[in-house]
Chains A and B, each alone.
Chain A
Amino acid sequence: MRIGIDVGGTNTDAVLMDGDRVLATVKTATTEDVTSGIMAALDGLHRQRAFAPAAVRAVMIGTTHFVNALLEARGLAPTAALRLCLPATASLPPLVDWPRRMVDALSGRAYLVHGGHEFDGRRIAALDEAEVRRAAEDMGRHGVRSVAITSVFSPVNAECEVRAAEIVAAELPGVAVSLSHEIGRIGLLERENATILNAALRELAARIVDGLASSVAGFGITAPLYLSQNDGTLMDLDFTRRHPVATLASGPTNSMRGAAMLSNVDTCAVVDVGGTTTDVGVLRRGFPREATTEVTIAGIRTNFRMPDVVSLALGGGSRVRDDATTGARVGPDSVGYELTSRALVFGGDTLTATDVAVAAGRAEIGDPDRVARLDRDLVRATMDQVVAQVADAIDRMRTSPEPLPVVVVGGGSVLLPDALPGAGSVRRPEHFPVANAIGAAIAQIGGEVDRVFAIRPGGRDAAVAEATQEAVDRAVAAGADPATVRVVDVDEVPLPYLPGNATRIRVRAVGDLDLAYPGGTGAAVPEEP
């Protein structure tokens, strides 16, 4: 048996699973301290289906706690960014282009010292260790408690970051150090931003992880505890303490993966219709397709790997207007959480998409008599518009002309019919209100390689094979059962202007968590330089 828990901003959901079978589900309120909410959820599961704590083999937790902390700019540690770069990149120092509010929230300080590499691994300048020491002393004087270290081209050569980390650790014992090559990819400012956010979350991560561990242990569960990452794989508690940013997008990822598992498909579009918005994402072989563009979090540009999700201003609470010139219009505004007081079927005075769905006979919510006399043309036009918008979003997300199964979840999913144009029949899984917790419970262990290879003529296959083997090895080293490891993604991008036919190759492999394996870290092993 395993337990999946999703700690959201509002609700804490939990599921008890045996293999692919859902044994119990529970929804409780998230508490300020997180811990008591989890205790309540575990109690709830136990009441529904008594289980021996010792029979639980693993607990997987997904949480939006860290992304919310960033969005609300609270609980962030005083953080310094140290860049190893001079004489390059001085005009765009760390924290450039950050909203003032965020810089203040982490009392951000920036330091530049000599160091870093060129694209081909040559040095820009030797690391100036004395400068690093002086920077560390200054950080100490200013009460910095967490340091983000970024070296130019560290994804090619990380030696400067590793050495600077040793110096900072010696000068400032007890201060957390985050290294950019473990966090992001090529793109200096975006990778550095991600590393600074990670650094700012380190203290919060330590607190939350301790809380999670003690609440699970307090229930008598001795099984290992994991957190789910942005890409749908797991990390252990120690890795989570060091890399809290790896959880930032785990919410949508878990929801999509959970929905797909419940529907028994691994390549599909997932449509999550909420009260205000509809999110459409795509799973390919069980994992979300990642966005290729920069992702902005709390106004800060990063290059995290985030699931590619299209959001529509369309949901169960969307207002519906009958305009004389343009006809029926759905949204973009919504009555949101006031649906149950403002919608017509609940005795309110505002026409919403839910009212129209009830009038169309797609749902039985509230009092259908209140919408019985709605204009039939308006109902038809509104429903057609909803379908057209969703079908269009799904079509945009397709990656190939092959038909793509569609899984529909969320409280507002009653708006959608059982078939969509261009998509065929839609699946509506059971238990979808706890899809996030199920997504966490089924998370796997991953390994990844992302490197620039110089490909000689005829050498492409060998380079891809080398990268693939490394990715598989990493997944196994991280604790995946070797018999279950498979390659889920191979991506090749030729880099223009670089000599020697340079091609960036990215390979990702995943496997089931090997519960018998003692040495696994439960996390992707960072690439060695």
Chain B
Amino acid sequence: MATTKVSFVDVEDLPDIAAGAAILGTGGGGDPHIGRLLAAAALRRHGPVRLVGLDDLPSDAVVLPVSLMGAPTVMVEKPPSVDQVALVVDTLAGYLGRAVTHIACAEAGGVNSLIPFVAAARLDVPLVDADMMGRAFPELQMVLPSLYGVPTTPMVIADEKGNRAVLDTVDNHWAERLARSATIDMGCTAVIATCPMTGQQAGESLVPGTLTLCRELGRLLRTSKAEHRDPVDGVVTRLRGGRLFSGKVVDVARRTVTGFARGEARLSGTDEHAGGELVLRFQNEHLIAEVDGVVRASVPDLLCTLDTETGTAVTTEALRYGQRLTVIVAPADPRWHTPGGIELAGPRYFGYDMDPVRFGEEP
């Protein structure tokens, strides 16, 4: 029998988790700052959160991922509340007629990596050290459990006033559509609980270890400077990825298309990439990287923009002229590279008529 790996997360771990989550956010996912403050409020009041490894999950466990849905620009003005996060869990448990035994993380990148800690602390339920993406993606159905037949619904969406809606839809795209319009009516920030699943389904479909990975990445950034190590090297090694390009941002173009922030950034190479040019195309998250006109990396792999000096993640919203960035690529969970995974979150879904370029198999 495998040894049981239970660890605890306390308030002082949260800044590292937030810094690591910003990296896995691949340019999107929302600023983890508000998530960190909320998690800190919940942990200070209710105590540390028990983290359970995916291998240690009983197969009959009732696992429920919780997250935020809405506009990051609104979230910073009207942050959700701890009770609101707990409410979606209680409501879905009521609809299912079963108690939720474990909280899970929907998205290990950005603000949503911290929200499950709020639910787990407030409800005194263990948190699974795993998530549904291994990164950040913009839409509800872009999760690995979709590949295993775990539907997005029944799901619950709730606002801070106490309004709750249970959605039970004919398919996942309807769930995204109805939840998106409810979110806008709820004031553009809502808390959701989606994809209720058994311990066995979670064990098959989630990406293991991603919350402790966030914590490790954050710790790496924090300690690198003191230990005179290159933080970017540390991140690349830990993610088993590669450096794609180092350069300076020379142009950023943004536009809002159907509710998403799309755009491109252009980097002019420095150091070993002097004379070269990289173009990053993004929709909330980074989607495609072209070096000198050739696509060198794409979704579903992770494209992260890191400050060359500190290794800190830079979001697409914060990109601006003159920044020195290193763009790194890290392999996505291999299941994202199956035909089903590529259909959900490959370049074509985002409107680019091309096959994905996979890390390790570049032209």
Which A residues form the contact surface with B (CB < 8 A)? Answer: 87-92, 96-97, 116, 118-119, 122, 124-125, 152-153, 186-190, 292-293, 395-401, 493-499, 501-503
- The answer, among A186, A399, A501, for a CB contact under 8 Å with B76, is A186
Chain B residues 55 to 101 lying within 8 A of chain A, measured CB to CB, are 70-74, 76-83
Q: Does B348 sit at the interface, judged by CB under 8 A?
A: no
Q: Are B261 and A494 in contact (CB under 8 A)?
A: yes
Q: Are B162 and A91 in contact (CB under 8 A)?
A: no
Chain B residues 167 to 193 lying within 8 A of chain A, measured CB to CB, are 184, 187-188
Q: Does B160 sit at the interface, judged by CB under 8 A?
A: yes
Query: Shortest beta-carbon distance, A77 to chain B, in Å?
Result: 26
Tell me the bound Cα distance from A122 to B74 in angstroms.
Answer: 14
Answer whether A89 and B81 are a contact pair too, CB < 8 Å, given A495-B256, A496-B261, A497-B259. Answer: yes
Q: Are B322 and A397 in contact (CB under 8 A)?
A: yes
Which residues from B are CB-within-8-Å of A153? 77-78
Answer whether A92 and B79 are a contact pair too, CB < 8 Å, given A292-B320, A497-B71. Answer: yes
Tell me the bound Cα distance from A124 to B80 in angstroms.
Answer: 13
- The answer, among B37, B38, B80, B321, for a CB contact under 8 Å with A398, is B321
Answer whether A89 and B71 are a contact pair too, CB < 8 Å, given A188-B79, A501-B256. Answer: no
- The answer, among B40, B71, B78, B318, for a CB contact under 8 Å with A188, is B78
B interface, size bucket: 35 or more
Query: Shortest beta-carbon distance, A484 to chain B, in Å?
Result: 29
Tell me the bound Cα distance from A421 to B23 in angstroms.
Answer: 34
Tell me the bound Cα distance from A118 to B261 in angstroms.
Answer: 21
Chain B residues 236 to 290 lying within 8 A of chain A, measured CB to CB, are 248, 250, 254-256, 259-261, 284
Q: Are A499 and B78 in contact (CB under 8 A)?
A: no
- The answer, among A152, A190, A498, for a CB contact under 8 Å with B78, is A152
Tell me the bound Cα distance from A119 to B190 in angstroms.
Answer: 13
Which residues from A are CB-within-8-Å of B5? none
Answer whether A87 and B256 are a contact pair too, CB < 8 Å, given A122-B187, A292-B320. Answer: no
Q: Are A91 and B41 in contact (CB under 8 A)?
A: yes
Query: Shortest beta-carbon distance, B76 to chain A, in Å?
Result: 5
Q: Are B74 and A499 in contact (CB under 8 A)?
A: no
Q: Does B135 sit at the interface, judged by CB under 8 A?
A: no
- The answer, among B37, B71, B77, for a CB contact under 8 Å with A187, is B77
Query: Shortest beta-carbon distance, B59 to chain A, in Å?
Result: 34
Which residues from B are CB-within-8-Å of A152? 77-78
Which residues from A are CB-within-8-Å of B324? 396
Q: Are A401 and B41 in contact (CB under 8 A)?
A: no
Answer whether A496 and B78 are a contact pair too, CB < 8 Å, given A88-B160, A501-B256. Answer: no
Number of A-B contacts (CB under 8 A): 116
- The answer, among A91, A395, A499, for a CB contact under 8 Å with B38, is A91
Which residues from A are CB-within-8-Å of B72? 496-497
Answer whether A89 and B79 are a contact pair too, CB < 8 Å, given A398-B321, A496-B73. Answer: yes
Q: Are A92 and B41 in contact (CB under 8 A)?
A: yes
Which residues from B are CB-within-8-Å of A92? 34, 37-38, 41, 79
In this complex, what residue of A is CB-closest to B161?
A87
**How would residues 308 to 323 of chain B score, 1 for a CB under 8 Å from any chain A CB and 0 otherwise?**
0000000000101111
Tell me the bound Cα distance from A152 to B80 in angstroms.
Answer: 12
Answer whether A495 and B71 are a contact pair too, CB < 8 Å, given A91-B41, A92-B41, A501-B256. Answer: yes
Chain B residues 113 to 133 lying within 8 A of chain A, measured CB to CB, are none
Q: Are A119 and B41 in contact (CB under 8 A)?
A: no
Which B residues form the contact surface with A (CB < 8 A)? Answer: 34, 37-38, 40-42, 70-74, 76-83, 160-162, 184, 187-188, 248, 250, 254-256, 259-261, 284, 318, 320-324
Tell me the bound Cα distance from A503 to B255 in angstroms.
Answer: 10
Answer whether A187 and B81 are a contact pair too, CB < 8 Å, given A119-B187, A497-B188. Answer: no
Q: Are A494 and B78 in contact (CB under 8 A)?
A: no
Which residues from A are CB-within-8-Å of B74? 119, 497-498
Tell me the bound Cα distance from A125 to B162 in angstroms.
Answer: 12
Query: Shortest beta-carbon distance, A266 to chain B, in Å?
Result: 19
- The answer, among B77, B161, B254, for a CB contact under 8 Å with A119, is B77
Which residues from B are CB-within-8-Å of A119? 71, 74, 77-78, 187-188
Q: Are B78 and A88 in contact (CB under 8 A)?
A: yes
In this complex, what residue of A is CB-closest to B188?
A119
Which residues from B are CB-within-8-Å of A398? 321-322
Tell me the bound Cα distance from A128 to B261 in angstroms.
Answer: 37
Known: A495-B71, A497-B259. 15 other contacts (CB 8 A): A88-B187, A89-B160, A90-B83, A91-B38, A92-B41, A118-B78, A152-B78, A188-B76, A189-B37, A493-B254, A496-B284, A497-B73, A498-B71, A498-B74, A501-B256
Tell me the bound Cα distance from A386 to B259 in angstroms.
Answer: 47
Tell me the bound Cα distance from A501 to B73 in angstroms.
Answer: 14
Which residues from B are CB-within-8-Å of A122? 187
Which residues from A are CB-within-8-Å of B261? 494, 496
Which residues from B are CB-within-8-Å of A395? 248, 322
Name the 5 nearest CB pairs between A and B, nearest first: A497-B71, A496-B261, A494-B256, A118-B187, A91-B81
Most chain B CB inside 10 Å of its own CB: which residue of A119, A400, A494: A119
Which residues from B are CB-within-8-Å of A90? 81, 83
- The answer, among B81, B160, B255, B284, for a CB contact under 8 Å with A494, is B255
Query: Shortest beta-carbon distance, B121 to chain A, in Å?
Result: 12
Which residues from A are CB-within-8-Å of B187? 88, 118-119, 122, 124
Which residues from B are CB-within-8-Å of A400? 321
Which residues from B are CB-within-8-Å of A497? 70-74, 188, 259-260
Which residues from A are CB-within-8-Å of B322? 395-399
Which residues from B are CB-within-8-Å of A495? 71, 73, 256
Most chain B CB inside 10 Å of its own CB: which residue of A116, A122, A400, A497: A497
Q: Are A186 and B77 in contact (CB under 8 A)?
A: yes
Which residues from B are CB-within-8-Å of A493? 254
Tell me the bound Cα distance from A153 to B184 in angstroms.
Answer: 15
Query: Shortest beta-carbon distance, A492 to chain B, in Å?
Result: 9
